[in-house]
Amino acid sequence: MIREKIAKIAAAVNDLTAKSQEEVEALRIQYLSKKGQISELFDDFRNVPKEDKREIGQLLNQLRDAAQNKLVELKAIIDTTQSTADKHDLTRSADTIALGTRHPLSLVKEEIIDIFSRIGFSVAEGPEIEDDWHVFGALNFPPEHPARDMQDTFFIEQNPDVVLRTHTSSVQTRIMTSQQPPIRVLCPGRVYRNEAISYRAHCFFHQIEGLYIDKNVSFADLKQALLYFAKEMFGEETEIRLRPSYFPFTEPSAEMDISCDLCGGKGCNFCKHTGWVEILGCGMVDPNVLKACGIDPDVYTGYAFGMGVERIANLKYRVKDLRMFSENDVRFLQQFQ
Ligand code: DAH
């Protein structure tokens, strides 16, 4: 009888739980106080036959110790959880994580890509470390052209054939030599020129190149695409003007101006009182370039254009010092959301 009672209480003690010190105290009273269940068993001990006293006595002592230990354990668990709750304000809302902002050049680059992607252009990229042929040779630069000069191009002394690309037109070469028309790509990327760093020049900057080659592509297509771009980028009222120019890789070539949106074309300091600001170079891909890249100039024609991302960003955000774009000053960067 008493053995079963001891086993039953021992099992119950083993499974005890409590959520507060008050509950622990209630358990103490239930099991260990003078009138508690375990104490009552000790009272019954008197009636245990002599020959069993030794064994039952041990069982009872074990049970009492187990119950005392269990209550100490429960107390300790409640103590530690309560003290962490005291130290920390569990009702406080979580700290917000400071979110970064997109870099202004990325914002502008993505906007340009978005505008041209709506008229069928996809994005292509090429290496920044190039060879002479992809940057100059294939693009119809004569061997003595000044752009190859040490003043402009970073090249590796041990091997003058290895250069940092000076323009993203090198990606045109890569696309045309690996793909047959129709080709309609936009090539964004970083370019390098050996220039003294100042508020208006840096030794690296970013360009976006456009290239469209197919049958019957005309200068009118080029003009229409660029007019669409200017209006999307700078507003519906924007006008464009194309001035004849020269690039080795296009014939005819032009530079494009947009009407100055600061003075509305009336003339101000920003547009040097001309009412126009230059934004890109463009032209019809020179047949020599098509030929060099394995595209038949008797079947295909194409147009190309190239613009500086910093320049466009400047028109949008009026950043006076170009160096701001690469200095990573968060006070500057935070202003572009
Ligand atoms: N590559 C020229 C530069 O770096 C920009 C350019 C002009 C690209 C005319 C073109 C183009 O594709 O047709 O100044």
Q: Is the CB of 185 under 6 A from ligand 1?
A: no
- pTM, rounded to two decimals: 0.73
pLDDT number for residue 151: 67
Residue nearest to ligand 1 atom 7, measured at CA: 281
pLDDT of residue 150: 65
3-state class (DSSP) for residue 324: helix
Say what percent of the chain tops pLDDT 70.
99
Nearest ligand 1 atom to the CA of 191 is: 4
Q: Which residue's CA is the closest to the ligand 1 atom numbered 4?
A: 167
| Dihedral sign computed on CA atoms, order 7, 8, 9, 10 | positive
More confident residue, 36 or 113: 113
Q: Count CB atoms within 10 A of the CB of residue 196.
A: 7
Cα 121 vs. chain centroid, distance in angstroms?
23
Q: In what order do the strands lie in the sheet with 204-214?
A: 122-123, 183-192, 204-214, 301-308, 276-285, 250-259, 240-247
Q: To test the ligand 1 pocket, which listed residue (186, 209, 219, 222) has its Cβ within 8 A of the most ligand atoms?
A: 209
Residue nearest to atom 6 of ligand 1 (CA): 306
Is ligand 1 within 6 A of the CB of residue 283? yes
What gap in Å lies between CA 228 and CA 211, rounded to an integer? 16
**Residues near 88 by beta carbon (within 8 Å), at least 6 away in sequence:** none
Nearest atom in ligand 1 to 245's CA: 9
What's the mean pLDDT when you consider all of the chain?
92
- Dihedrals phi, psi of 287, to nearest 5 degrees: -55, -30
What is the position in ligand 1's atom list of the atom closest to the CA of 166? 4
> What residue type is assigned to position 299 of the chain?
V
170 close to ligand 1 (CB < 6 Angstrom): no
Please write the tens of the pLDDT for every residue from 185-201: 999 999 999 999 999 89
Q: Which residue, judged by its Cα, is nearest atom 3 of ligand 1? A: 167
Higher pLDDT, 83 or 164: 164
Query: In this prediction, what percent of the chain has a pLDDT beyond 90?
Result: 60
pLDDT of residue 139: 96
Distance 255 CA to ligand 1 centre (A): 9
pLDDT at residue 238 in the model: 94
Cα 281 to averaged position of ligand 1 atoms, centre (Å): 5
279 lines ligand 1 (CB under 6 A): no
Q: Looking at 122-131, 140-149, 187-196, which range is the least confident one? A: 140-149
Q: Which of 104 and 149 is assigned the larger pLDDT?
A: 104
State how far the Cα of 146 lies from the Cα of 214, in Å rounded to an integer. Answer: 31
Task: Give the mean model confidence (pLDDT) for residues 31-60.
Answer: 88
Tell me how many degrees the CA angle 123-128-133 measures, rounded to the nearest 5: 100
DSSP tag of 293: T
The verdict on the CB of residue 213 being under 6 Å from ligand 1 is no
Strand-pair category, 155-156 with 159-164:
antiparallel
Higher-pLDDT residue of 156, 119: 119
User: Of 174, 221, 223, 282, which is best to mutate to test ligand 1, by the most ligand atoms within 8 angstroms of its C-beta?
Assistant: 282
Mean pLDDT of 280-284: 98
Ligand 1, atom 5, residue with closest C-alpha: 306
Ligand 1 geometric centre to CA of 306 (Å): 4
If one residue of 112, 169, 207, 284 were mutated to test the ligand 1 pocket, choosing by the most ligand atoms within 8 A of its CB, it would be 169
Residue 167 has what pLDDT? 96
Query: From the CB of 141, is ligand 1 less than 6 Å away?
Result: no
